[in-house]
């Protein structure tokens, strides 16, 4: 993420500072990310020992260190801006600190990543940018990302067609859209999946009359750390 600085270590992290102008108006919500699993065998990477029965089906709460969201590596997903941040990172921050309809202000909008995140999650947004070239790219990015990142009427963060962040408080509202392994201890080797994402012949698949009306989004097992 960073660039070499002489003979010092390469800075490969982003620091996120959180401030509130008025503590009484402060908003901060716990969010969850999918359990970290092996990409090949789908088994949980972390050994929870005898505590598997109390695991949250979707995944743990995020801590103050995030290793599941990565920098933008592929050129086709980058804009011309040299400091572009990944949309899932901004969406996680938006979910943590705002509600639907709130206004997100970015005084240094660049190519509009924060505005795209706000728009995708049903928030209003205000962006300020001096470079007309970046303004044009930002407008195109916003138009290409309408506010459709929902499941069961709940806003979630999606990347590469996979859910990467949801609010802890929203799980009860959408848990019936998922097939959770039973007994829950089986989650060690079997991730939860959307019922509407199962084959039609599956005994767990929803019938046409009970399928969600919103477009379903598939579940993810999180991203594996670089295994070089």
Average pLDDT, stretch 152-171?
Answer: 90
The domains of the chain are located at: 28-71+84-210
- Better-scored residue on pLDDT, 194 or 16: 16
Asked whether the predicted pLDDT for residue 24 surpasses 60, the reply is: yes
Residue 150's beta-bridge partner residues?
A: 155
pLDDT of residue 80: 67
59 CB neighbour count, 10 Å cutoff:
27
Identify the DSSP state of 1: -
pLDDT confidence band for 5 (50 / 70 / 90): low
For the stretch 58-106, pLDDT in tens is: 989 999 888 887 776 666 666 666 577 889 999 999 999 999 999 999 9
Count the helices and strands in the chain (H runs, E runs): 4, 9
Asked whether the predicted pLDDT for residue 173 surpasses 90, the reply is: yes
Residue 157 near residue 29 (C-beta atoms within 8 A): no
pLDDT of residue 215: 40
pLDDT of residue 90: 93
**Mean pLDDT computed over every residue of the chain:** 79
The whole-angstrom separation of Cα 139 and Cα 205 is 40
- Better-scored residue on pLDDT, 167 or 228: 167
Residue reference for tokens 């295994």? 227
pLDDT of residue 202: 39
Q: What percent of the chain has pLDDT above 90? A: 36
* pTM > 0.85: yes or no: no
Does residue 29 have a cis peptide bond before it, meaning omega lies within 30 degrees of 0? no
What is the distance, to the nearest Å, from the Cα of residue 183 to the centroid of all Cα atoms in its chain? Answer: 27
For the stretch 92-150, pLDDT in tens is: 999 999 999 999 999 999 889 999 999 999 999 999 999 999 999 999 999 999 998 99
């Amino acid at each position: 993420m960073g660039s070499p600085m002489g003979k010092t270590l390469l800075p490969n992290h982003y620091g996120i500072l959180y401030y509130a102008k008025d503590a009484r108006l402060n908003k901060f919500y716990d969010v969850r990310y999918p359990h970290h699993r092996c990409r090949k065998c789908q088994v949980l990477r972390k050994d929870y020992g005898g505590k598997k029965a109390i695991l949250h089906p979707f995944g743990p709460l995020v801590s103050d260190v995030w290793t599941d969201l990565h920098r933008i590596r592929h050129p086709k997903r980058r804009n011309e801006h040299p400091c572009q941040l990944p949309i899932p990172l901004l969406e996680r921050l938006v979910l943590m600190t705002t509600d639907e309809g709130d206004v997100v202000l970015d005084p240094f909008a660049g190519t509009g990543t924060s505005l795209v995140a706000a728009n995708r999650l049903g928030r209003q947004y205000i962006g300020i940018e001096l470079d007309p070239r970046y303004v044009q790219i930002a407008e195109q990015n916003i138009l290409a990302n309408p506010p459709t990142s929902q499941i069961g009427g709940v806003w979630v963060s999606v990347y590469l067609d996979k859910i990467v962040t949801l609010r802890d408080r929203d799980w009860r509202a959408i848990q019936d859209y998922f097939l959770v392994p039973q007994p829950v201890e089986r989650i060690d080797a079997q991730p939860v999946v959307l019922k509407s994402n199962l084959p039609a012949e599956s005994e767990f698949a929803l019938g046409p009359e009970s399928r969600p009306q919103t477009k379903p989004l598939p579940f993810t097992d999180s991203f594996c750390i670089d295994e070089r």
